[in-house]
Amino acid sequence: MKVIELGQVKGPALVQKASNDGIRGKVELTAVALSHCLLQDKYLRDVTFRTGKIEHCRFEHTNLRNAVFDRVNLTGSRFVACDLAHTRFENCVLWYVVFERCELDYESVISSLPPENNICKRLLSVLRMNAESMGEKTWADRILLRELAAERQDLRDAIRHASPYYVKNYDVLDRLVSVFRLSWHYVRFGLWGYGIYLSRLMLSATGLLLVLATIVSRDGFRFVVAGESATRSLSWLEGLYFCVINLTTVGFGDISPANGTARVLASLTAVCGVILFGFIAAAFYRRLGR
C-alpha cells in the first residue's frame, strides 16, 4: 500500500490547493481514481469527492469533517480513527467498507446501504461495532435492529434461492440450517426482543407463568398441601402461587409435588426460572450499559 503525498498529485483541482498534509478550503475533486493507497494524518475537511473510485484505500487519522462522497466507489476501503462528523455519503458503493473508532454520521451511511442483504448485514455489523467503540449505545441498538432485519432477509433469500449467488453458495443442507437460524431469530425476538425491549421480556415471562399455572392446575398433577393429609390437585390460584415459588426458586415447601408428572413439571419450572432470570439480567445489563 503506497502512501499518497497530496502535494505531488497532479490535476487542475489540486495544483493550487494541495500540500503534503492535505487540502485547504472547499475543493471539488471529480473522477477520483485511487487504489491501494494510504492517506494518513491528512486534512481533507470540506472536500467533495464526486464520482470515481477510491478502492481498497486506508484513511488513518484523517480529518474528513463536512466532506462529501458523491457517487464514489469505496469498495474495500477502511477508515481508522477518522473524523467523519457531518460527512455525507451520497449514492456510494460501500461494499466491504470498514469504519473503526470514527466520528460518524450514521444516517448518511445508512442511506447508502448496499441492496444486497448479505453485504448490507456486514456493513451494519461494522457500523454497530463502531458505535459501541465510540460509546454511542443508542445508535448501536438502532443499528442492531437493522442488522438483524437484514440477517433475517438474507436467511429468507438463502432458503428460497432468491438469486444466482444463493443458488451457487447454498445447498440443501445450508438451506435447512438457514431455516433453523431464521426460526431461532423469531424465537429470540418473540421471547425477549433481542434484549432491547424489556417490555417484551416481561410480557413473555408473564405469559410463561400463566401457561404453567394452567397446566399445574389440571387433574393429572397431584400435590401435598401443608396441613392436609391427602394429595390433591391445585386450584388455578394455588397453581399460580406454586409456579411463582418455583420460577423464583424460593421453595417454601408448603406445596410439594406428590406424583411423577408433578415432579417433572416442578423441575422444568425451576429450570425455566433460572433461564428466565438469566435473560432478565442480560437485558438489564444491556440497558444499564447505555
Is 220 found in the same domain as 152?
A: no
What is the Cα–Cα distance from 258 to 232, expressed in whole angstroms? Answer: 9
Q: Are residues 54 and 136 in the same domain?
A: no
Which CATH number do you get for residue 68?
2.160.20.80
pLDDT at 176: 94
Indicate if 2 and 73 belong to the same structural domain. Answer: yes
pLDDT at 68: 94
Asked if residue 120 belongs to a domain, the reply is no
pLDDT digits (tens, 9 = 90+) for 28-77: 888 888 889 888 888 899 899 999 999 999 999 999 999 999 999 999 99
What pLDDT does 66 receive?
93
Q: Is residue 118 part of a domain?
A: no
**pLDDT (tens digit, 9 = 90+) per residue, 154-177?**
999 999 998 898 899 899 999 999
The reply to whether 3 and 100 lie within a common domain is: yes
Query: Is 122 inside a domain boundary?
Result: no
Among residues 194, 225, 245, the one where a domain terminates is 194
117 domain residue, yes or no: no
Choose the final residue of a domain: 83, 112, 141.
Answer: 112
Which pLDDT does position 184 carry in this prediction? 87
181, 219: one domain: no
Same-domain check for residues 207 and 105? no
Across the chain, which has 290 residues, the per-10-residue mean pLDDT values are 52 47 78 88 90 93 93 95 94 94 93 89 94 90 90 91 89 93 84 73 84 89 86 89 85 83 88 81 67
Q: Note the residue count of the chain.
A: 290
Q: Give the end of a domain, one of 112, 141, 175.
A: 112
Cβ-Cβ contacts under 8 Å for 169 (sequence gap 6 or more): none
Residues 244 and 172 in one domain: no
Task: Answer yes or no: is 126 within a domain.
Answer: no
- For residue 259, the domain's CATH number is 1.10.287.70
The answer to whether residues 72 and 93 belong to one domain is yes
CA proximity to 224, closest of 194, 202, 254: 254
Shared-domain flag, residues 10 and 102: yes
Q: Are residues 17 and 101 in the same domain?
A: yes
233 and 146 both lie in a single domain: no
CB atoms under 10 Å from CB of 191, counted, come to 18
Same domain, 189 and 209: no
Count of domains forming the chain: 3
pLDDT of 16 reads 43
Residues 172, 206: contact at Cβ < 8 Å?
A: no
Domain boundaries, position 23: 1-112
